[in-house]
Amino acid sequence: MDLFDRLRAARLDAWRAYVAHTFVDGLGDGSLPRAAFDAYLVQDWLFLIQFARAYALAVFKGRDLTEMRASFEGLKAILDVEMDLHVRLCGSRGIPLTVLETTPEHRATTAYTRYVLDTGLRGDLLDLHVALAPCIVGYAEIAADLATRPGALEPANPYAAWIAEYSGAGYADVARAARAQLDQLAARSMTEARFSDLCEIFAQASLLEADFWSMGLEAGG
């Protein structure tokens, strides 16, 4: 088992609250209300801004140029690729950039992103990447599971494009790289005594992800 699998096995309750959420099931069968998904998309754009800050913090926390460059590439990918893709996806659903730029953060967005940043500020690079892992790896695993469900990738499902994006080979590579990075960081700085602390970070981040889904459902009425 790699470190990610160990963390997930240790706090399976929190992980399942995230990946088996009602919001996720609604993505798979297309029953998720449009307003819920659109509310999630807007908040996810705001989340990406803080995600970029987390990678900027990771650059600072890097102990050598290899770690700094890896974090810098993640930062560039968010600022130069992901955010533009998100703007286009929102635009295709009738959500203009002005809405993204003027919508305030929901409490769930603030709670989740500031937890990640605070974890990174208080701890080291391993703490920070454990806090980020449920998001990065979780999306790949959620989408891969949804893609196997009947009709999930059919044009009739309004969320087929989301599932296809996160279940695709490109994002699978991102998730694999995140898992490998966790192992590399753990090889340098993890002790068995520290593992329980990392489990708590992982569990809290997973539960905050679940709260992020719930935020979308509540906003969608």
67 is an active site residue: no
**Active-site choice (90, 141, 199, 209):** 209
pLDDT in tens, 88-97: 889 988 999 9
192 is an active site residue: no
Tell which residue, 96, 120, 100, 116, has the closest CA to residue 108. Answer: 116
The rounded distance, in Å, linking the Cα atoms of 102 and 119 is 27
pLDDT in tens, 68-126: 998 998 899 889 888 888 898 899 889 999 999 999 999 999 999 999 999 999 999 99
Query: Would you place residue 192 in the very low, low, confident or very high pLDDT band (cuts 50, 70, 90)?
Result: confident
Query: What residue type is 127 in one-letter code?
Result: D
Phi, psi torsion values for 2, nearest 5 degrees:
-80, 175
**Active-site choice (67, 135, 141, 199):** 135
Q: What is the pLDDT of residue 11?
A: 96
Query: What residue type is 190 in one-letter code?
Result: M
pLDDT in tens, 2-60: 999 999 999 999 999 999 999 999 999 999 999 999 999 999 999 999 999 999 999 99
pLDDT in tens, 50-67: 999 999 999 999 999 999
CB 147 within 8 A of CB 91: no
More confident residue, 156 or 82: 156
Query: What residue type is 152 in one-letter code?
Result: A
The SS3 assignment for 199 reads helix
Query: Would you place residue 221 in the very low, low, confident or very high pLDDT band (cuts 50, 70, 90)?
Result: low
Reported pTM:
0.93
Tell which residue, 208, 41, 40, has the closest CA to residue 131. Answer: 208
The full set of domains in the chain, from first to last, is 3-219 (1.20.910.10)
Across 181-187, average pLDDT = 93
